[in-house]
A and B are shown apart, each in its own frame.
Chain A
């Protein structure tokens, strides 16, 4: 089951454009930097809508507020001005309908794989055989069967992130917030994990907001790509990715349309980076 590579998909993923799941409206977020006694404007006047069922990838240079946006949707950070709505209601704090996958995995080192996956269920007070089955099935889904009793320090980076993914999926959230989840794993593992993520999302039909540095990762995974400028983070452009799925096939990456999109996104980012270099920001 680890090998979903090459499985053909009959149709495009169904995106219900009618019901926006996440709506950020003129969202600005400021951090107070205690040490320097200054404030950092992480996001400024950021407006973005994510419909249910979409795979949205946010691309931008480092420090552009991508993670801040995820934190705002997760309810870890409150807006300074503007608003974030989830299913029509303003976000007031973390909730079981929004789960997150972290760049550095954020696994509890004292918990086994199984217990790490179970964490969200425990917090929600959900125990019992039905939930045990769910834990087991998600461990199998991410391809970790047999490693239930292992501790994170016994696993490789790719395996740890599989645990992080299962932990997020098992609470059955409406949206999966993924903060550069594959940034810390090696290139080969990364490609395989991308393919598996695409498969799992296809199977579960989850909405995903995925943050990355990598244009290729964005093009491989996204329905839409949101390109963000840095400091303050503002939405620059939204790109519809009209590439056929599955995309890990050679011919998709070799197609002229892929190259075209790639160059377009690259152009946007390059502009941004060179501006920053000139102004000495980055």
Chain B
């Protein structure tokens, strides 16, 4: 979805054709064509810029991937529909046709059940997420900056990040009883550690020379933190936020599917228990769509707010 257009075919990259990329890279700036920038004016001359291709060709190039994406999904669902209708590969009781799923989805939206449960689920998730951001990012910054705190908390934070924290969920639910507080706690436990760890790691990569430069130009310790360390760490924090979102979703679905009498996960479980696969899939579809949207939102934020960070992000 996000990366389909980038360098997909290594073999094509060789032939020089840029395939279906929407913009063409040129080696010289549009206003200085014919001269290599460095030779003429001592490095004045921008890096290769992108020129827009206009007209129908440009439109096709720009929207090609979007068109392919839509077609892709359409074909997928049509094939699914046809196969399951005429020569079912899997018993339609377990893999119903897409139209049945959509019909169920519509019914559940219309009667308000889905909206209500989704609201419950995402409220919990939002609260838990905000809590982990509120504590995770500052803790990561402190651990990154102060060696002492890194030595005190580091091993535990790291161990809890590496360990499957969700495993403790049954015990948490035993202690707090099933309900919003236990759910929020499990989600927060999942989301907190990647945030703290990523932030701490980001601080560790701050370039020594940038700090030196800031010092030379008169920054004090607080200013170094504010003007160098925090902005430098921003890409890591944003990545932490994205990983935290996927882990929060995992915690949410986990608690709801297996323990909770409320929420989207509960709907999936309930529908499955009565072998209502269409309803189960319709709720799963909602979970998939919201996960993808959330993750893409954070990728967008990363690209928008940290354009200098060009590394591939997974």
Contact = CB atoms under 8 A, between A and B. Distances in A.
Interface of A: 2, 71, 74-76, 94-96, 98-100, 102, 104, 106, 108-110, 119-120, 123-124, 143-144, 147, 150-159, 161-162, 167, 171, 177, 185-186, 188-189, 191-193, 196
A186 B217 contact: no
Contacts of A153: 307-308, 310
A106 B213 contact: yes
B249 to A, nearest CB: 29
A196 B41 CA distance: 11
B43 interface: yes
Interface residues of B, number: 32
Nearest to B42: A192
A104 B208 CA distance: 11
Nearest to B220: A123
A84 B228 CA distance: 28
B44 interface: yes
B37 interface: yes
A75 B227 CA distance: 20
A171 B217 contact: yes
Interface in B222-264: 223, 227-228, 231-232, 234
Nearest to A196: B42
Given A123-B219, A124-B218, A104 B209 contact: yes
A94 B216 CA distance: 5
Contacts of A124: 217-218
A110 B231 contact: yes
14 contacts: A2-B42, A2-B44, A76-B215, A108-B210, A108-B232, A109-B232, A119-B213, A150-B46, A151-B307, A155-B46, A159-B45, A177-B216, A188-B38, A189-B43
B216 A74 contact: yes
A196 to B, nearest CB: 7
A2 B41 contact: yes
Contacts of B228: 108
A158 B36 CA distance: 13
A93 to B, nearest CB: 8
